[in-house]
Structure 1
Amino acid sequence: MAHEMSPDQIEEYKKAFSVFDKDGDGRISTVDLRALLGSLDQKPSQALLEDIITGIDAICDGTIKFDEFLKMMTTKIDYSNTVTDEGLRDAFRVFDRDGNGFITATDLRQVMINIGDKLTDEEVHEMIREIDTHGDGMVNYEDFLAMMAQE
């Protein structure tokens, strides 16, 4: 079952939910979910989207409210220790947009824009600096793994 979350974690999830709630109606529909997944270069079928929502839609209205979203996110946290190497590589590839084996400031900025988080250049560079162990301004897969292990 899901573990207790801090108020800061809940606030982070509220912000994420508002990004996913593209039309601002307080719910994530299949259209909202498609937009989110599309920003991550994933193109699921309508049937798959409906299956995802059906799996977490407690009142069966075809949408996900914040409490359902929160439950989904806490469940994901509970299973985070079972993340596979392939899953981590897939996550790395989402950020490594040009496929060169490194996450650059440009790559990070584009992903953040796609999910609705517009960061300043300084914020993007600071994020890279915090993760980059080689001081070359780029995050390689090993840097990415080290960051994921800290979370």
Structure 2
Amino acid sequence: MDLLTNIDDLEEHQFEEEELAGYIEQFKLIDEKETGQIRTSSLQELFLAVKLKIPIPHVKIMIEKVEVLGHVYISCDTFLRLLWLRVKMNNRAAEVKEAFRYFDVEESGYMPVAQLRDIMMTYGEPLTEEELIDMMRFADFFGDGMVDYNNFVNMMVYH
């Protein structure tokens, strides 16, 4: 049984047929022994081969999540699932950045923590006071009362 949901079971699966074929071909190139699986340590190489630049720490997190379940190999289906989840995360990151830019009237890439708090209370999903305090603590990455939206997006989307 595969570690993650079979890629065919994803309703939101959006890879074009040609694109999907290319990803599968790249997987097969890494799978030199033709076992249908690759070592998790080959994920970074595979992501680079499909032209998806993922920071090494993010790939390490993916590997850790797979390996914590006792798996050191992943199937092509699992790779495609990870790839699709990453594409979705990148799209979500772009959406969050765009929303942040809407409120960043000075176009500085920063906003006061108090303003972000007000925005989250007014427009965001309902949060408990504890959740909001935690979010603001992480949002104020440098402790200067300002939120850098690149750091904020990384925190919200990739962690």
TM-score w.r.t. length of structure 1: 0.36
Larger of the two Rg values belongs to structure: 2
Q: Which has the bigger relative contact order, CA under 8 A and spacing at least 6?
A: 2
More strand by share: 2
Q: TM-score, normalised by structure 2?
A: 0.35
